[in-house]
Amino acid sequence: MSDAAARTASVRRKTRETTVSVDLALDPPTAGYKVSTGVGMLDHMLEQLARHGLFDITVEATGDIERDPHHLVEDVGLVLGQALDRALGERRGISRFGHAIVPLDEALALVAVDLGGRGHASIAFGFEREMLGELPTENIRHFLAAFAAEGRLNLHVRELAGENDHHRVEAAFKALALALRQAVAIDSRVAGEIPSTKEAL
């Protein structure tokens, strides 16, 4: 379900491997979050997305994390992307583009987004550890790629500096939050038009 006027969406996905529920509001009075996935580091990153993006996000997810968190992490990315796409509706009047460079101690991350309707992810940052708590670091790329594909956005993530893996990831998610905050913002100068010379996104 979605409410384009209010720019909100609720998406549910249930498979044999996971059950994921996401409620998203792009223009809440205050940024809030309620996140429960069973993967602590993923919860932490989704909270960063809500807090710094100024979104209201509720995520409830369960899955076969006793095998491997891969299915759950990817499906949360898919459903969150679908919620973003639905909340944006026709994407009329949005700024469309956003970018941010965010430091966290020694780490520095750059993120750029284009809400132009084409899903693509280009992610370049490395890890020295295999796990961050219960989250395999390789699954972070899967989350971001799934989010970009289902959100129909062009996403570029670059590590400009970093030594600590937690700092690398957190800087990247904070930068993503700020970039999305810019891109989803309504620009009154375009008077509700679709921000494309094709007049469609």
Of 84, 79, 81, 44, which is closest to residue 61 (Cα–Cα)? Answer: 79
Alpha carbon distance 94, 153 (integer Å): 13
- Prediction pTM value: 0.94
Six-digit token string for 174: 């904070």
- What ranges do the domains of the chain cover? 2-190
Q: From first to last of the 201 residues of the chain, give the pLDDT tens digit.
A: 555 578 999 999 999 999 999 999 999 988 789 999 999 999 999 999 999 999 999 999 999 998 899 999 999 999 999 999 999 999 999 999 999 999 999 999 999 999 999 999 999 988 999 999 999 999 999 999 999 999 999 999 999 999 999 999 999 999 999 999 999 999 988 777 887 777 777
CATH class of 2-190: alpha beta
Give the type of residue at 36. Answer: S
